Structure 1
Amino acid sequence: MPLSDTAIRSAKPTDKPYKLPDEKGLFLLIHPNGSKYWRQKYPYGGKEKMLAHGVYPHVGLKDATSPRFQWQSALESGGTSQPRQKRGPLGVRR
């Protein structure tokens, strides 16, 4: 069942991190300090990788699901391999 904004807002922190699953590998990771991070699991080269979409509420439900569908369709069509990391002017990851 897809996540709703109400379910996300009402998610309370516990003593251990836990996940609120959405669809196609996307989930919201809730940490004990109350922070909420968008993550997505995906297969790559026979292994499971994880992609970060951002922090809730800066990245809302609609924004988190939008790139997911673009990324998922690219994987299903055999397109891109692994997402590129943004790099700064000196080649250092941001």
Structure 2
Amino acid sequence: MSDIASLEGAGRFCQCPQIAIKALEIKGFKPLDKAYRKADAKGLYLEVRPNGSKLWFYNFRVDGKEKRLGLGAWPDMGLADARTAHGAARQVVQAGHRRAPDCGYPTSRIAGTA
């Protein structure tokens, strides 16, 4: 019996593995009519907006409610920096803190926080 069949038989869903963003791919993400997201891993994603800005965010849940933390703007914050900030924020969330963690990077460049 295949692994997928055994998972389906157990009432579980098979999850497809996420493919992480590569640093060279980010330049190639072009703006569209609507904002779109490119997932990296474990809640980290890059949002590409119609005006061409590319912003890093971390999605997580606290008490069943979805939260979103802005980490910074690309290219000011590269992929490695975003992953570092994401890891630090993720540890704060996993420690049980109820508020959005402070990633330690200035967020004044993110729309709506200036």
Pairing 1:25–2:46 present: no
What aligned pairs does 1:1-94 form with structure 2 within 5 A after superposition?
Answer: 1-76=19-94, 78-82=95-99, 83-84=101-102
Q: Distance in 2 between matches of 1:73 and 1:53?
A: 15
Larger Rg: 2
- The TM-score with structure 2 as length reference comes to 0.68
Query: Identity of aligned pairs, percent?
Result: 34
Residues 84 and 11 of structure 1, relative CA distance in 2, 3 Å threshold: closer
Structure 1 stretches of at least 4 aligned residues deviating more than 6 Å after TM superposition: none
Letter in structure 1 aligned against 2:97: T
- The TM-score with structure 1 as length reference comes to 0.81
Give unpaired runs (5+ residues) of structure 1.
Answer: 87-92
Aligned counterpart, 2:16: none
Aligned counterpart, 1:89: none
Tell me how large the CA RMSD over aligned residues is.
Answer: 2.1
1:53-81 deviation digits (Å, cap 9, x = unpaired)? 011001110111102112223333x3433
Q: Distance in 1 between matches of 2:43 and 2:102?
A: 19
Give unpaired runs (5+ residues) of structure 2.
Answer: 1-18, 107-112
